[in-house]
Amino acid sequence: MNKYWKRMAAPLVAALTLIASAAQAQTTLRYSNWLPLGHPLRAQVMEPWAEEVAKATQGRVKVEVSPKVIGTVAGQFDAIVDGLADVALFVPSYSAGRFELTELMELPFLADSAAVRSPVTYKFYAQNLAKFDEYKGVTVLSLFPGPAQHVSTAKRPVKTIEDFQGLKLRSPSPIASQTITLLGGIPVLKPATEIYEMVSGGLLDGAVFTIPDALSFKLTNLLPRVGIVPGGLGATVIVLGVNPAKWKTIGEADQQAIMKVSGEKLAQAVGTAYDIAEKESLEATRKAGGTVETLSPALVTAMKQRVLPIEQGAIEKARKKGVADPAALIAILRSDLAKATK
Would you state the pLDDT for residue 23?
A: 43
Tell me which of 276, 297, 332 is where a domain ends. 276
Q: Which amino acid is at 210?
A: T
Do 250 and 208 belong together in one domain?
A: no
Contact 260, 326 (CB under 8 A): no
Kindly report, residue by residue over 84-114, the tens digit of the pLDDT. Answer: 999 999 999 888 789 999 999 999 999 999 9
Residue 98 lies in a domain: no
pLDDT exceeds cutoff 90 at 5: no
Do 169 and 200 belong together in one domain?
A: yes
What is the percentage of the chain residues whose pLDDT exceeds 70?
A: 93
Domain that holds residue 133: 25-93+115-144+237-276
Do 241 and 331 belong together in one domain?
A: no
Do 330 and 222 belong together in one domain?
A: yes
Residue 270 lies in a domain: yes
Would you state the pLDDT for residue 25?
A: 52
Residue 15 lies in a domain: no
Contact 223, 6 (CB under 8 A): no
In this structure, what are the phi and psi dihedrals at residue 213, rounded to the nearest 5 degrees?
-65, -25
Do 262 and 292 belong together in one domain?
A: no
pLDDT greater at residue 45 or residue 7: 45
Residue 34 lies in a domain: yes
CATH code assigned at 54: 3.40.190.170
CA 86 and chain centroid, separation:
18
Q: 273 to each of 79, 86, 184, 208, 270, how far by Cα in Å?
A: 27, 25, 33, 20, 5
Do 126 and 229 belong together in one domain?
A: no
For the residues 209-230, what does the mean pLDDT come to? 91
- Based on C-alpha coordinates, what's the Rg of the chain? 23
Kindly report, residue by residue over 110-126, the tens digit of the pLDDT. Answer: 999 999 999 999 999 99
Residue 198 lies in a domain: yes
**Helices and strands: H and E segment counts in the chain:** 14, 11
Q: Provide the whole-model pTM.
A: 0.85
Residue 107 lies in a domain: no
Do 163 and 306 belong together in one domain?
A: yes
pLDDT exceeds cutoff 50 at 192: yes
Residue 327 lies in a domain: yes
Would you state the pLDDT for residue 147?
A: 92
* Eight-state DSSP code of residue 129: I
Q: Which of 30-34, 161-165, 217-221 has the lowest mean pLDDT?
A: 217-221
pLDDT exceeds cutoff 80 at 265: yes
Do 256 and 270 belong together in one domain?
A: yes
pLDDT exceeds cutoff 80 at 63: yes
Do 133 and 262 belong together in one domain?
A: yes
pLDDT exceeds cutoff 90 at 18: no
- pLDDT, the chain, mean: 91
Do 320 and 174 belong together in one domain?
A: yes
Kindly report, residue by residue over 167-187, the tens digit of the pLDDT. Answer: 999 998 888 899 999 999 999
Do 80 and 191 belong together in one domain?
A: no
Comparing CA positions, the residue from 72, 69, 102 lying closest to residue 175 is 102
> What's the total number of domains in the chain?
2
Strands across the sheet containing 27-32: 61-65, 27-32, 87-90, 237-242, 139-145
Kindly report, residue by residue over 296-328, the tens digit of the pLDDT. Answer: 999 999 999 999 999 999 999 999 999 999 999
Would you state the pLDDT for residue 264?
A: 97
Do 206 and 333 belong together in one domain?
A: yes
pLDDT greater at residue 94 or residue 154: 154
Would you state the pLDDT for residue 181?
A: 96
Residue 10 lies in a domain: no
Would you state the pLDDT for residue 14?
A: 39
Comparing CA positions, the residue from 233, 316, 259, 30 lying closest to residue 122 is 259
Would you state the pLDDT for residue 156?
A: 87
Kindly report, residue by residue over 225-236, the tens digit of the pLDDT. Answer: 999 999 999 999
Q: 91-105: b or e for each residue (b if 16 or more CB lie within 10 Å)?
A: bbbbbeeebbbbbbb
